[in-house]
A and B are shown apart, each in its own frame.
Chain A
Amino acid sequence: MPFLRKRHLLILLFLCMGLHPLLAQNYTISGSVTDSASGETLIGATIMDLRSGKGTRTNEQGRFSLTLRSDTLDLRISYIGYKSQSERIVLRRNEKRNYRLQSSVQLQTVVVRGNRIASAESSQMSALEIPIERIKSVPVLFGEADIVKALQLLPGVQSGSEGNSGFYVRGGGPDENLFLLDGVPLYNVSHMGGFFSAFNTDAVKNVTLYKGSFPAHFNGRLSSVLDVTTNNGNDKHLHGNASIGFISAKLSLEGPIRNDRTTFCLSARRTYADFLLQPLIRHLAAKNSDSQKGDYRLSAGYYFYDLNGKLTHRFNDRSRLFASFYLGNDVLYSRIRTLSTDVQEQFLNFDNSWGNIVGSLRWNYELSPRLFLNVTGAFIQYRNNIGVAYETESLATDTTGSQKSEFNMDYLSRISDFTLKADFDFTPNPNHLVKFGSAYVHHQFLPEVSSAHLDAYSSAEMNGSFLIDTSVNSGAIPADELSLYIEDDWSISDVLKVNGGVNLSGFAVKGAFYPSLQPRLSARILLGEGLSIKAGYAFMTQYLHLLSTTSVSMPTDLWVPVTDRIKPMQAHQWGGGIFYESSIIGDISIEGYYKSMNNLIEYKDGASFWGNSESWEEKVAMGHGWAYGIELLLQRNIGNLTGWIGYTWSKSMRQFDLPGQEINNGKPFPAKYDRRHDLSIVLSYRFSEAVDISATWVYSTGNAATLSLQEYAQAQESANQYAQVDPDGWNGYISQAGERNNFRMPDYHRMDIGANFHRKFKRCSRTINVSVYNLYNRKNPYMIYESHEHHYQNYNGALVKLSIFPILPSVAYTLKW
């Protein structure tokens, strides 16, 4: 069988790589690279032997392993933004080295490391790395630095609607992105309906986005992987960072505990609009009390908060333990108490909270200088709670006496994951970096539980109470997911480098089992100094679906697993590109891709999931899609002027033509966020150590929308009812649905600017950030709708564009010590 032959070949290859160093009398240098000031591990730092030209990079834990022949080595350890170190070593045995690089003060503020993972040297393509310093400097909505919004400015990544932090990668949907926080997946990464992402930039160290050519150790989503690594904490001194912006305040603390073996890092963020709005709410309540001639009290608000924490303990140079947690929550509430003049008291309380809880324990251990182990156990939970309580009590003393009734409604939706995984990095020699491992995830889906309780009684006859107590439970759905992977980053020659691997996964749910063998391959051919061409292929499988009918992220969005009828989504993606790195003009890359997707789900015409997961399978249709495009990225990371220009030309289509599941009569139609052109220009200029400015300009083709172009009268049982038909009413006419996404909204464009004013004091430094969102007040469409209150040309109705964010200035103050 072909499969068995492939497997045997892989095992043979693996054994050969293991034996190779024994035959060649090689020795290994292993260790870590960290920041000299903070002790923070540096991901992607280069360790190069200048004599042989062999080298490696540090992994996600800042560890490296370099096996070379016994010889004298001239090692150079470098990381952009840091001063390089050199060391001569006579290699006669295995060596342990921990390098601490010193940040280059001059460079630190103006130079940021580029897409090193996808550099011309690397075999990886379609990956982008944005340093957190750059993300913080990008001017954004309300001045709130946001990782996801910064990524939306990259080619191949599109935002959803205005101001939204959801993103769409290479024609994929918003649920096809895997968000990893320290290797642990998050389900809902949005706050405030999607206007902000769940990642607090103060807690984040490194951000890498994969859009294609996925390494074999990633699986579970079709379109992208966003790998976010948080800070470990300073192992020298206690440091802090406090900032207050337009909508939120943040505080971060990090430092050693007792000695440099144990460090901590804590970050917290909370919005405070609910505090600011309290006077207004009280004013409205008082006004209402006057008009109603009663006592009316109102308390309402919305806020979100994030808590990130990480504890790192270094047992020795070979062993480290990380305990981390993330708690993010959005809370929307209102409390209304009314005491009317007829001595009737009413309470109406509404509470809605939703968010993620993540706890993980990670152990890094160096099994040998060439073999590195990372074991992770994690618990992830996303939940959405809604509670409504209504209580009324009348103290009237008529024949029926006092009366009281209570109504309570609760709604819960939850998904919990228990994850255990082991990842190995094996470096048999400088030509190979082998990664292999396995992961097991137990999912517990609880799409919806609703309960209602109504209790009413009169004091005259308590036994006359009226009681309804009901519960609707969609039932917990357990599911198990297992995956195994192996990949090798293999330098076949100085010119040719290949990253090949395979991910084997299986998903079991409700008696159904879906196996999937997913090959991955990418290759690089070095054409000259800093110039290479690359090609890649990846097959991805996704076992989860997100049920949502809105373009913005809502807490009511439900994650559900595949079923025996709804198959896993699959995507094949082919890509190729040319990459050039120049120390003068910067890095240039041009990539093209083609992606085909199967078993996509889409809501049938008119179907929606507003808090109802029952029989959701009946409401969706399965189909396929395809997307292709060209992406251009020019970025400059050196000098006072830095930034990038990204342009994407793309097309994304869908077709649902299975019998009985046709959408758009089975004909192909543009995907919701199909956009032909997408352009982003991001520039920063550093005037001095005290002042730097930045600006962004984005332009994209307008979003697609479906317009019903014809309306007609609704059938009535009685002829008299036709006379009552109100053209403005809700019930009098029917809109004849047109072709799906048959209309384009106006093009989107916007300019944002920002300036940072830095000042150093004796023991601390401060930064004042001033930014303006939508500088020229472009009224970009957030949504369009039909209105009969407006007129257009000869018609008594019109199509109306709603814009939500005009020019918005904001200020943020940050203090570091």
Chain B
Amino acid sequence: MSIRPILPFLFLALLCASCEEVLEFDIDPGDRQLVVNALPCTDSTLFVNVTYSRFFIDNQPFPPADGATVSVDINGVPTSPTSHDGANWWFPYTAVAGDLLTVHVGLPGHDPVSGTTRVPALPNMQAPIAEIDTLQPINSGDILFTLSDPADQQNYYYIYVEEYDSGSRWNQWESRWDTIDTVIHSYFNCLDLQVTDPAVNSSLGLMGYFNGLLFTDSLINGQAHEMKISLMMFKDTAENPIQRHYTLVVQSLSHEAFRYIKDVQQSQSVTQFFAEPAQVYSNLDGGLGIFAAIAIRRYPLQFVFKQQEDPIPQNKNKNISKAKP
């Protein structure tokens, strides 16, 4: 038998021979810390999630902090929760721009935890126009809107396009139809955000971000600009009749929310594998987590065809991506 045929395999085996082994170590797991998470939003009822942290190799769900007392001061007025469900404490309150909120959490054996945030103003913008061009191999869409940034204050924005898929898709590995009912949070479809005003001539440094477009108003402070988000969307086929619905979500963030989301995105990015672990921002005294307000506008998108790029009008209706409010 000639050795030549097995040489590549021998080489590859030696080159790639690796070994994984559980590493024994002696580290004190330390005390579990109290974790308080709440993102008061202008479009939903406030709830506060209170759990414990866990040791880093403990692959268990985060245990709820049973017995915790939770209250929220709204403009200095204490408010108690109306209900308690597992780790969530529900409050009869929906965030209003300008409100000052403070959360207090107490639990015997732990230091009291508190944090403060102010609800930002809603994004000052008009309803967007969404256009689509279906003649290309991949549908390309543009979302146009004008954002007016309030002056004399630092504003923070987080914009993404949420995709809701429903229908059925052929699973070629399992040879069956799968039912699809999924919300895709801006993944894979958002190309860039551009200020269309030639005087500004900026993409805000946000090209190619898949985790949404997180930015400050440093380039547009106090000004109104038309902006454009370019999208790439999958083309539906007869084999995979999935209904895709898109929603533009524009958030105005408190400073705390901006720092938190930025750090979380950084810590979860692909490049983080090579970086030192990130310290995620927390504005809570005595514990971990975040208490940060967000003002949200949501715009279900109804795409229209670009007139100048529509040479075959009879095909229009067939290719419209139907959006639902």
Chain A bound to chain B: yes
20 interchain pairs, CB-CB under 8 A: A456-B136, A458-B136, A466-B140, A607-B276, A608-B271, A709-B56, A710-B30, A711-B54, A712-B52, A715-B49, A715-B260, A727-B59, A735-B56, A737-B277, A782-B18, A796-B60, A797-B59, A798-B23, A799-B57, A803-B19
The verdict on A50 contacting chain B, using a C-beta distance below 8 Å, is no
- State which of A280, A737, A781 has its C-beta within 8 Å of the C-beta of B279: A737
Tell me if A803 and B18 are in contact (CB < 8 A): yes
B30 contact set on A, CB distance < 8 A: 709-710
Q: Which residues of B contact A605 (CB under 8 A)?
A: 276-279
Q: B123-131, B220-228, B288-296: which one contacts chain A?
A: B288-296
Chain B contacts with A in 1-60, Cβ cutoff 8 A: 5, 7-9, 11-12, 14-15, 17-25, 27, 29-30, 32-33, 35, 37-39, 41, 44, 47, 49, 51-60
A792 at the interface (CB under 8 A from B): yes
Q: Are B8 and A276 in contact (CB under 8 A)?
A: yes
Contacts of B272 in A (CB 8 A): 606, 608
> A526-562, CB under 8 A of B: which get 1 and which 0?
0000000000000000000000011000000000000
With A549-B275, A727-B61, A796-B59 already in contact, the answer to whether A709 and B27 are too (CB < 8 A) is yes
Contact-residue bracket for chain A:
35 or more
- A789-817 at interface with B (beta carbon < 8 Å): 790-792, 795-806, 808
State whether A710 touches B23 (Cβ < 8 A).
no
Of B102-110, B149-157, B308-316, the stretch lying at the interface with chain A is B308-316
Query: In the complex, what residues of B have CB within 8 A of residue A710's CB?
Result: 30, 32-33, 53-56, 288
A706→B19 contact, CB < 8 A: no
Most A CB within 10 A of own CB, among B32, B38, B137: B137
> Among the listed stretches B70-78, B163-171, B240-248, B261-269, which one makes contact with chain A, having 4 or more residues with CB under 8 Å of it?
B261-269
How would residues 201 to 224 of chain B score, 1 for a CB under 8 Å from any chain A CB and 0 otherwise? Answer: 000010100000000000000000
Whether the pair B279, A606 counts as a contact (CB closer than 8 A) is: yes
CA distance A15 to B312 in the complex (A): 91
A-B contacts besides A603-B276, A606-B277, A717-B41, 20 pairs, CB < 8 Å: A273-B15, A280-B8, A399-B312, A456-B138, A461-B312, A606-B279, A710-B288, A722-B87, A734-B280, A735-B56, A735-B277, A737-B278, A779-B19, A788-B57, A788-B59, A795-B58, A801-B22, A803-B19, A804-B18, A806-B19
Known: A464-B135, A725-B61, A796-B60. A608 touches B53 (CB 8 A): no
Please report the C-alpha to C-alpha distance between residue A808 and residue B27 in the assembled complex, in whole angstroms: 34
Interface residue A349 (Cβ < 8 Å from any Cβ of B):
no
| Bound-state Cα–Cα, A795 to B56, Å | 9
Cβ-defined contact, A733 with B49, below 8 A: no
- Which residues in chain A, 600-620, are within 8 Å of chain B measured between CB atoms? 603, 605-610, 614
Interface pair A606/B57, CB less than 8 Å apart: no
Expressed in whole angstroms, the minimum distance between the Cβ of B26 and any Cβ of chain A is 11
Is there an interface contact between B135 and A606, defined as CB atoms closer than 8 Å?
no
The docked-state distance in angstroms from the alpha carbon of A614 to that of B207 is: 13
- Assembly CA distance A718 to B137 (angstroms): 36
User: CA of A66 to CA of B117 in the docked complex: distance in angstroms?
Assistant: 80
Instruction: Tell me the bound Cα distance from A708 to B55 in angstroms.
Output: 9
| Residues of chain B contacted by A709 (CB below 8 angstroms) | 27, 29-30, 55-56
Which chain B positions have C-beta within 8 A of A722? 49, 87-88
Closest chain A CB from B311 CB (angstroms): 5
Q: Which residues of chain B have C-beta atoms less than 8 A from A400's C-beta?
A: 135
Asked if A714 is at the interface (CB within 8 A of a chain B CB), the reply is yes
A12 at the binding interface (Cβ < 8 Å):
no
Contact flags A381-421 to B (C-beta < 8 A → 1, else 0): 00000000000101000011001010000000000000000
Kindly state the separation between the CA atoms of A98 and B27 in the bound complex, as whole angstroms.
67
Whether B49 lies near A549 (C-beta < 8 A) is no
Nearest 7 Cβ contacts at the A-B interface:
A606-B278, A796-B59, A797-B57, A610-B271, A608-B275, A737-B277, A715-B37
Contact A606 B263 (CB under 8 A): yes
For residues 441 through 487 of chain A, which have their beta carbon under 8 Å from a beta carbon of chain B?
456-458, 460-461, 463-464, 466, 470, 472
Q: Which of A614, A712, A715, A797 touches B33 (beta carbons < 8 Å)?
A: A712
Query: Which residues of A lie under 8 Å from residue B133 when comparing CB positions?
Result: 464, 466
A614 to B9, CA, bound (A): 42
**Chain B minimum-CB-distance residue to A610:** B271
Q: Which residue of A lies closest to B257 (CB)?
A: A715
Residues in chain A near residue B199, CB distance under 8 A: none
Name the distance in Å between A775's Cβ and chain B's nearest Cβ. Answer: 15
Q: Are A801 and B20 in contact (CB under 8 A)?
A: yes
**Complex Cα gap A569–B66 (Å):** 53
Contact partners of B87 in chain A: CB under 8 A: 722
Judge if A193 is at the interface, Cβ distance under 8 Å: no
Q: Which residues of A contact B62 (CB under 8 A)?
A: 712-713, 725, 733
Given the known inter-chain contacts A464-B135, A710-B55, A716-B39, please indicate yes or no for A801 contacting B23, CB distance below 8 A.
yes
Indicate if the CB atoms of A808 and B276 lie closer than 8 Å.
no
Residues of chain B within 8 A of A713, CB atoms compared: 35, 37, 49, 51, 62, 289
Q: Are A461 and B135 closer than 8 Å at their CB atoms?
A: yes
Whether A464 lies near B309 (C-beta < 8 A) is: yes
Contact, CB under 8 Å: A708 / B277: yes
Across-interface contacts of B309 in A (CB, < 8 A)? 464
B312 to chain A minimum Cβ distance, whole angstroms, is 7
Q: Does A728 contact B (CB under 8 A)?
A: yes
A280 touching B39 by the CB < 8 A rule?
Answer: no
Nearest-neighbor residue (CB-CB) of A619 within chain B: B275
Does A394 lie within 8 Å of B276, measured CB to CB? no
B9 touches A280 (CB 8 A): yes
A85 within 8 A of partner (CB): no
Q: In the bound complex, what is the Cα–Cα distance between A782 and B59 (angstroms)?
A: 24
For A746, the closest partner residue in chain B by CB is B23
Contacts of B264 in A (CB 8 A): 714, 734
- One digit per residue, 1 when the CB lies within 8 angstroms of any chain B CB and 0 when it does not, for chain A 291-325 equals 00000000000000000000000000000000000
B49 contacts A795, C-beta separation under 8 Å = no
B37 & A714 in contact (Cβ 8 Å cutoff):
yes
Q: How far is the CB of B53 from chain A (nearest CB, A)?
A: 4
B285 CB, nearest partner CB in chain A, Å:
16
Contact partners of A727 in chain B: CB under 8 A = 59-61
> What B residues does A716 contact at CB under 8 A?
37, 39, 49
State whether B277 touches A706 (Cβ < 8 A): yes
Bound CA–CA A719/B264 (angstroms)? 18
**B137 adjacent to A392 (CB under 8 Å):** yes
B49: min CB distance to chain A, Å: 6
A515: Cβ under 8 A from any B Cβ: no
A2: chain B residues within 8 A (beta carbon): none
